[in-house]
Structure 1
Amino acid sequence: MKRRDFLKQTTQACAGLGLSSLLFSCESKPKRPPNIVIFVSDDTGWNDVGYHNPEFKTPNIDRLAQQGVELDNFYVSPVCSPTRAALLTGGPPSRYGILGPIALKSKQALPKDTVTSAELLRRNGYQTAITGKWHLGLRPEVGPLKYGFDYSYGYFHGQLDQFTHIYKNGDRTWHRNDQFVDEEGHATDLITNEAIRFITELRDKTRPFFLYVPFSVPHFPVQEEKYWEDMYSQIENECRRLYAASMTHMDHGIGQILAALKTENLQQDTLVIFFSDNGGQEKWGAGPAYYDDKFDPCDQLGDN
């Protein structure tokens, strides 16, 4: 979506929803509200995108910033779950009891009666889908389908092995429609491919859609194939090199999803938003109890 259309389309989306709690004043109702795609990266620092740091290769994210509107006077919570709760409720996460990351064997989740933005959008005619990280409940019974999503895919927990898709304590977390599944591939590719599949195959073409794409990277553990890592051979620190590679890998996935929108002639009818759930985690000290001591501690990751 072009810069000049951003506020117009946002206003139209608000009008189509009839949501009085949104920040924009809505004056007219369009024939059909715009589609909404929200990309969320996991632990990306301010200096970890190409348009702030030329060392990083993120051409698709950069293009969104250049052709759209960069909003740089906002804040998020310093950890994962509260930001995601705020995003999907429009309220302070403390109101819903989400004060920190939901982790390990916790049974915490959004209250069952929570009306999320996905639910409000669905009530107003949208088809709703998530492909990626949920982190607002770690069990199928408190997965996305219980909170307004028509389709869900990805993982329940706050982090995972990018290839085995197992949580740090060994629990299963990868799912489709809130049911555990086993699949092969890097999480970034799986999340990307499922988002594309929703756009090209699964969506109801008679309805607008809300597609929420919260990626698993560059959150630790940072694991990347040699193809992506080789792009940053000049970075000596291995953790920082893998972190940069994961950003470029994710950016490539975002580019593929944007290309799918264009192929479906949806690029002018879709509001696209990208942001990080919080700043970059500067270092990570893995204990032997996590991932069976598979990963070494990292002394350099994100750059805030």
Structure 2
Amino acid sequence: MSQREHNWYRTTRQMNRILSAVAVLCLAAAHSHAQSESQKPNVIVILADDLGYGDLSCYGADDIATPSIDRMAAEGAKFNSFYVSPVCSPTRAALMTGSHSTRVGIGGVMFPRNNHGLNPDEITLPELLKDQGYATAIIGKWHLGNQDMFQPLKHGFDYWYGTPASNNQFYYPNTKTYALDCKYREGYSCDGILKRETAACPLIRDNVVIEVPADQMQFTQRYTRETIRFITRNKDKPFFVYLAHNTPHIPLHASEKFIGSSKRGIYGDTIQELDWSTGEILRSLKELGLDNDTLVIFTSDNGPNTGKGGSAGPLKGGKGSTLEGGVRVPFVARWPEAIPAGTESDEPITGMDLLPTLTRLAGGDVPNDRVIDGKDIWPLLAAKPDAKSPHEAVYYLRGRGVQAIRIGSWKYRIATEKSPKDEKSERKAASDTKPKKINVETLFNLSNDLGEQTNLLDKHPEIAQRLKRQLSTFETDLRKNLRPAGVASE
């Protein structure tokens, strides 16, 4: 896409917004407009941080109680093959843009030192919903760029309350603005904050720091209250809330009421508090008379940190891996007016699919001036007869590469792994004993080997070769149509 084409598309969108507003004001169509607005579903997307496939009771956990999310699944839809990226920033980029994270220049986790972020030229999900009259808010973690030009308010959100990145990341104090009544904790002070080279995770409202370091024990409680306040303020118009929790990402924290509440230590405690939060939001929707008009989705950004209490259940691997445990996560959706209760599906869907699906539900159009990799999955969510995954293949991206492909129940993976040590390497000097890395190819039939235990590469070489060729073709095509990340000036 040329710069001229891009400018034309964005100018057209802005002109359409202006013309739509003029039409509403000048054509005395207020009643008709209000009627169409009321038909648009409110949308709440709840995204946990590092929650695994085996961390909810409706997905098999027997040591963590999640009755509210379980009720969502019973009253709505539960998907068993929902795919995201193996780490957080790429999943968030894909959710916002409807495109593979590598396509939009966000290949890995973003760190404080990085000067790139989600390009301001990207057309995001909140922007598209805002075009349709939605009030938009992000409550929680952003993690798509540290500089002001990349922050949520520049990407279609009306309101932001949360953290710029993960709760274990520091930030550079001189890059932020501080509220006059900012709360300074743990020895921090108003006079001293700008003298510090780095500072611990802050709490932000609309790009202004209101507490530093943030009280992490209160994250879930505060996010829940902010979400309920926002939907209450906007109950008479369609709204979109992106509730991006910081938990159960490390360091693990829960509020006092939930400490010791689960059978899986502090990790389980944080998830039971997430479940409480979800229940409070559902209760508020019902009290406000919005229950039947609101689509609520609960999912996670990647697989679990298995070394800190997380579980991928029957899946192999965890966060950071393109094994199923790293990229397949829970996905539950509830909308009493439109999603049949008790719906369950094994059809593969992805985080990228939310942009086209939600945009069309809101009455908008998906951008046609760029590649959008996501597909409309509404027929699956609505349990339409014979609905199938719109994806011919699911691709597993990690960093800047493509490591695996799934077609039907077959998964082919080629990943770089450390080679086994040999006797010669053990006799070498320590400086020369860096393990060599080799490409390891595997082929699994996920229909009867969900845990990826039996490599069928030698038994079905023709299937492996077919999938390998398609993976290679996809990667070549992907490289031909990349969009750059934004870069902040030094």
Residue 197 of structure 1 corresponds to which residue in structure 2?
A: 229
Q: Secondary structure at the match of 2:130?
A: helix
Pair 1:207 & 2:220 matched:
no
Q: Is 1:220 aligned to 2:228, yes or no?
A: no
- Per-residue CA shift, 1:166-220, capped at 9, x if unaligned? 9xx624532111111116561111111110110123x2x4421111101010100
Q: Which residue of 2 aligns with 1:38?
A: 45
Deviation at 1:135, TM superposition (A): 0.6
Give the aligned partner of residue 305 of structure 2: 281
Taking the TM superposition and a 5 Å limit, the aligned residue runs for 1:104-183 are: 104-160=112-168, 170-182=199-211
- Deviation string 1:140-187 (CA, Å, 9 cap, x unpaired) is 3321000001111101112249x9699xx6245321111111165611
Runs (4+) of structure 1 exceeding 4 A deviation are 163-166
The equivalent of 1:187 in structure 2 is 219
Shift, 1:104, TM fit: 2.5
User: Which of residues 282, 289, 292 is equivalent to 1:258?
Assistant: 282
- Alpha-carbon deviation of 1:97? 0.8
Partner letter of residue 219 of structure 2?
A: A
1:244 to 2:268 alignment? yes
Q: Which residue of 2 aligns with 1:91?
A: 99
For residues 168 and 42 of structure 2, the distance between their equivalents in structure 1, rounded to whole angstroms, comes to 30
Give the whole-Å Cα distance in 2 for the aligned partners of 1:190 and 1:221.
17
Secondary structure at the counterpart of residue 72 of structure 1 = strand
SS of 1:73's partner is: strand
CA distance in 2, matches of 1:226, 1:31: 40
Q: Tell me the residue number matched to 1:16.
A: none
Determine whether 1:270 maps to 2:294: yes
Equivalents in 1 of 2:148, 2:223: separation in Å?
A: 18
**TM-score with structure 1 setting the length:** 0.76
Question: TM-score, structure 2 length as denominator?
Answer: 0.48
Alpha carbons of structure 1 residues 221 and 118: separation in structure 2 relative to 1, 3 Å: same
CA deviation string 1:40-97 (max 9, x = no partner): 1110111111112122111111111111111122211000000011111111111111
Is the 1:157–1:173 Cα contact (8 Å) retained in structure 2?
Answer: no
Q: Which moved more, 1:46-55 or 1:134-143?
A: 134-143
Match of 2:261 in 1: 231
C-alpha change, 1:194 and 1:226, in structure 2 (3 Å) is closer
Read off the aligned partner of 1:40 and give its amino acid letter: L
The equivalent of 1:48 in structure 2 is 55
Q: Distance in 1 between matches of 2:117 and 2:229?
A: 28
- Maintained 8 Å contact 1:82/1:99: yes
In structure 2, the residue corresponding to 1:86 is in which secondary structure?
Answer: helix
Answer yes or no: is the 8 Å Cα contact 1:172–1:180 preserved in 2. Answer: no
Which structure shows the bigger proportion of residues in strand conformation?
2
| 1:92-147 per-position Cα deviation (integer Å, ceiling 9, x unaligned) | 11111101111132222101111101000001111111101111112333210000
The separation in 2 between residues aligned to 1:164 and 1:131, in whole angstroms, is 22
The range that moved more, 182-191 or 206-215, is 182-191
Distance 1:153 1:226, change over 3 A: closer
Q: Which amino acid aligns with 2:242?
A: Y
Counterpart in 1 of 2:33?
none
> Amino acid of the residue matched to residue 227 of structure 2?
A
| Percent identical | 39
> 1:122, 1:225 → 2: CA distance?
34
SS in 1 for 2:304: coil
- CA distance in structure 1 between the aligned counterparts of 2:219 and 2:256, rounded to whole angstroms: 15
RMSD (CA atoms) = 2.2
Contact 1:139–1:156 (8 Å) recurs in 2: no
Q: Higher Cα Rg: structure 1 or 2?
A: 2
Residue 83 of structure 2 corresponds to 75
Residue-pair matches, total = 249
Conserved? CA contact 2:86–2:303, under 8 Å:
yes
Does the 8 A contact of 1:102 with 1:158 survive in 2?
no
Residue 129 of structure 2 aligns to a residue whose secondary structure is helix
